Amino acid sequence: MITSRLLVYVAVLVLSVYEHAVKLPNATLVPVSHEEALAVMNQNLDRWTGRAITSAANQGAHIIRETIYPYLEDIPDPGVNWIPCNNPKRFGYTPVQERLSCLAKDNSIYVVANIGDKKPCNASDSQCPLDGRYQYNTDVVFDSQGKNWWHHNLFMGENQFNVPKKPEVVTFDTIFGRFGVFTCFDILFYDPAVTLVKDFHVDTIVFPTAWMNVLPHLSAIQFHSAWAMGMGVNFLASNIHHPSKRMTGSGIYAPDSPRAFHYDMKTKEGKLLLSQLDSYTHHPIVVNWTSYASGIKAFPTENQEFTGTAFFDEFTFLELTRVTGNYTVCQKKLCCHLSYKMSEKRTDEVYALGAFDGLHVVEGRYYLQICTLLKCKTAHVHTCGGAVETASTRFDMFSLSGTFGTQYVFPEVLLSETQLAPGEFQVSSDGRLFSMKPLSGPLLTVTLFGRIYEKDQTLKASSDPRSQVPGVMLLVIIPIVCSLSW
């Protein structure tokens, strides 16, 4: 029996993540009927249940999570003792919640879904939109009872949703440890992402998302695995599979290394991932991210610095001109140190060491400190920072560090064809990201991605919630998208 607090934990659990090849509704300027919307939702659920739930349950999976694009239902407060499968009409017409609840119950499995919520309001509420309802992007957890959380950090283009007045931080305790839930853009912010780890001591994050890959630093498998390592928790990421929208990349990530991941821009098929994980009690390794870098002198160089743009941020770069070397590049208070050795120095590929210390202001506002070794898009340095997916140069070793002004740094290593390098690198207690052996594939990026949350400027949705009505009216034809894009 699962209760709110458990004293006994299972040592190993089987986890399943499904990257769903979503069926989108046909484009229309006229809102469709609820019956038409439900038909699309059921087609997605049919795909999901046939290919994922049964397979995962048969292979011993305890938790499966999924991102779906449904339309709105009234989702009751998670404190209400309600199992939709047993009493589906208690809170009105809720066929999607009923079906998800029955899937969880019938398969003895946990289900996490990202769905749309609606809450009526009236003129006594000064912030009530003109159409008389709030709309929320909501994560729902189904076990013996559902819990929901109102999505807080709305991404650019999510103006079809309202920001909740009091966003919830959701955890749920199981025999496998304590789980926390957040979605999409929230991973870039302190609240709720860091709060769940620091204040609520979760062991595992469940992360349904519709993530649009952005290189060089924010592809899904790259950043999500880095967040797991940087925060010292398990991380279950389920992305939508929609290559034409650059959406792919799901994984099961442990704090020390990815256990399973999937990235596929070539096919239209979904993918079920299964892996065993230790029931992880949160004991993060303490890293002083500035210790090593602040204790050494800048490496001398005759190379001239230049600037380049990565995801709209202006980096200071130095070209790596030799097959082996040591370089330092600085921007504002951040200095990045790199030692490296290539297998060979190719004439058709250019690599650079870059530093960025500033406020990112496109598609969100958040303060970054980034040290990065990356392959430039072409053999010309003016393309450094541009998105590139393939490389030929292999590195025998690297060591990257920086004088970060934050404890929140996320280490990334990404290989050619957007692949991870599990077991090939680690982070030392003095803040170095270094290779443990020659990399198994050509290198795209090695990055220390730092966040200084206290320097963020508050994300501002429309100051007048009534102005969000046009977005609300289009909800039935626009899927829930919380992606990063150029």
Output the average pLDDT for the chain: 83
C-alpha–C-alpha distance, residues 254 and 234, integer Å: 5
Cα gap 324→486, rounded to integer Å: 33
How far, in Å, CA of 133 to CA of 468, rounded?
A: 11
The count of structural domains within the chain is: 2
The range of the structural domain enclosing residue 18 comes to: 12-284
Asked whether residue 279 falls in the same domain as residue 322, the answer is no
- Token code pair at residue 391: 């490389």
pLDDT digits (tens, 9 = 90+) for 388-405: 999 999 999 999 999 999
DSSP state string for 150-162: E--SPPTT-TTSP
User: 253, 237 in Cβ contact below 8 A?
Assistant: yes
- Return the closest-CA partner of residue 208 out of 148, 167, 156: 148
Model-level pTM? 0.86
240 and 333 within one domain: no
Residue 423 lies in a domain: yes
Both tokens of 194, joined, read 């860091």
Percent of the chain with pLDDT over 70: 81
Whether residues 375 and 279 fall in one domain: no
**In whole angstroms, what separates CA 154 from the centre of its chain?**
14
Q: Is residue 257 part of a domain?
A: yes
Residue 18 scores a pLDDT above 80: yes
What pLDDT, on a 0 to 100 scale, did the predictor assign at position 431? 98
393 within a domain of the structure (yes/no): yes
Cis peptide before 192 (omega within 30 of 0): yes
Of 245, 261, 284, the last residue of a domain is: 284
81 pLDDT higher than 60: yes
**pLDDT at site 481:** 38
* 201 within domain boundaries: yes
Same structural domain, 419 and 443: yes
316 and 209 belong to one structural domain:
no
Clarify whether residues 279 and 303 are in a common domain. Answer: no
Decide which of 260, 284, 308 is a domain's last residue.
284
b/e map of 84-109 (b: 16 or more CB within 10 Å)? bbeebeebeebbbbbbbbbbbbebeb
Q: Quick one: 364 and 311 in the same domain?
A: yes
Statement: residue 254 has pLDDT above 90:
yes
pLDDT at residue 150 greater than cutoff 60: no
Do residue 254 and residue 335 come from a single domain?
no
